[in-house]
Amino acid sequence: MENVLIHYQNVELSREENIILQDVTFQQHRGEFLYVIGKVGSGKSTLLKTLYCEKPIDKGSAFIFDYNLRKMKSKQIPLLRRKIGVVFQDFQLLMDRPVNSNLEFVLKATGWKGKDTIKDRIKEVLNQVGMGNKGYKMPHELSGGEQQRIVIARALLNSPEIILADEPTGNLDLESGNKIVQLLHDICDNGTAVIMTTHNYQLVQNFPAKVKKCENGKLFDCEL
């Protein structure tokens, strides 16, 4: 079981008292790439939000790492979130400061100390996502694809064991979207588990991996 990072058994998820997903059972292993596909509103984002304690779990058994998500104490949540990198569709970058300062803000907020240590880590993650020469740029000076690379760099700062990517190509053109998915696969090949939600089935076919589908209140294995 040491390679199992996530274990959900008969989990039920609701939104405003409406059941969104029920009997959700799945495991995510270290270094595994998983697509969660389905229409808008089918429960994909809600599922991801339960993994970083943005949404509660109503029923069932849910573990991530050694944390029991049904019994999480508020003081444990920041510790859990440091082991998870989150990539949002709408970037959520701080638009009033350059890229380096965006990343520095996250490192300081998660307890990093020392100017040189912080500077070196920022350089590492920017190089990892192919943005090593863009640290001085303001977010609005970057294309959508470049902004999403910065978001992925931000998600990598604390060397997470899992990256959750919620429709990471939703605001990008086809070429930029393909490059972002390739980058996420490269990160996964280096040992980080990735769960990516999408309703773009073409991307899934271009970059094959394990697929689960949200439909009619259920999560099930799927082949495209």
Instruction: State the pLDDT confidence band at 2, using cuts at 50, 70 and 90.
Output: low
Neighbours of 156 (CB within 10 A): 22
Residue 147, pLDDT above cutoff 80 = yes
- pTM of the entire structure? 0.94
Over residues 36-84, the pLDDT tens digits come to 999 988 999 999 999 999 999 989 999 999 899 999 999 999 999 999 9
Instruction: State the pLDDT confidence band at 1, using cuts at 50, 70 and 90.
Output: low
More confident residue, 39 or 194: 194
Q: How far is CA 147 from CA 17, 55, 101, 109, 138, in A?
A: 36, 26, 14, 21, 10
What are the residue boundaries of the structural domains of the chain, listed by start? 93-159
Number of alpha carbons in the 13 Å side-chain half-sphere of residue 15: 13
∠175-46-154 over CA atoms, to 5°?
50
pLDDT, the chain, mean: 93
d(CA 132, CA 136): 10
pLDDT given at position 18:
87
Tell me the percentage of the chain whose pLDDT exceeds 70: 99
Mean pLDDT of 23-41: 94
Residue 224, pLDDT above cutoff 80 = no
Which amino acid makes up residue 202?
Q
Over residues 84-143, the pLDDT tens digits come to 999 988 878 999 999 999 999 999 999 999 999 999 999 999 999 999 999 999 999 999
